[in-house]
Amino acid sequence: MLKKNRLLRLTIVAIIAPICTLAGFSLMSKAPTNLGVQDGKLASCPNSPNCVSTQEKDPSQKMEPIPFEGDAANAIAKIKEALTKLPRTKIVEEKEHYLRAECASLIFRFVDDVEFYVDTEAHLIHFRSAARVGRSDMGVNRDRMQKIRGEVTGSLTKD
């Protein structure tokens, strides 16, 4: 009986310890200081597979920008509309040509930083989506940005 109780306790610790560690990483993660637009460019992706951007050269991180017509205000409004459809997403910064949101994962609340830059000269919406912690995101950032692209592209062609 004593061995069974000890084995049960060890099993519980083996399960709970990693969960608490992951939750701790989530709670301690802060927004990177290099976010925003500098000279028409969003921050580069880190050298890990948990980031996608329209301004990257690496094909594993590269996505195409979203073309648009009209002005930046209309493009930003369409992006905001698409973001409101994503669960656990909040807009944390908005400027005339720039928008940043934070998207949290369901269980551990890991935060991904999602940025948009509206280039009015080229009529393109550039974006970047990156996990704050960890190495792999299981394709979540790419999937999210494909979903947003579909929403924004669809709404821009309806007007």
pLDDT digits (tens, 9 = 90+) for 73-101: 999 999 999 999 999 999 999 999 999 99
Q: Is residue 114 part of a domain?
A: yes
Strands 37-38 and 51-53, bridge-based pairing: unpaired
How many domains would you assign to the chain?
1
Contacts of 48 (CB under 8 A, 6+ apart): 135, 136
Which residue in 99, 84, 106 sits closest to 151, CA to CA?
Answer: 84
Q: Is residue 19 part of a domain?
A: no
Which residue in 59, 91, 80 sits closest to 125, CA to CA?
Answer: 80
Q: Is the dihedral of CA 145, 149, 150, 155 positive or negative?
A: positive
pLDDT given for residue 25 in this prediction: 46
Query: Which residues span the domain enclosing 87?
Result: 31-158
Q: Is residue 13 part of a domain?
A: no
Q: Is residue 55 part of a domain?
A: yes
Q: Is residue 46 part of a domain?
A: yes
pLDDT digits (tens, 9 = 90+) for 2-16: 677 777 776 766 666
Confidence bin at 39 (pLDDT 50/70/90): very high
pLDDT given for residue 2 in this prediction: 66
Report the CATH number that the domain containing residue 84 is assigned in CATH: 3.30.310
Is residue 68 pLDDT above 90, yes or no? yes
Share of the chain above pLDDT 70, in %: 83
Q: Is residue 68 part of a domain?
A: yes
Q: Is residue 107 part of a domain?
A: yes
pLDDT given for residue 29 in this prediction: 64
Confidence bin at 159 (pLDDT 50/70/90): very low
Give the DSSP H/E element, type plus range, for residue 24: helix 2-28
Q: Is residue 90 part of a domain?
A: yes
* Span of 9-13, 44-48, 125-129, 133-137 with lowest mean pLDDT: 9-13
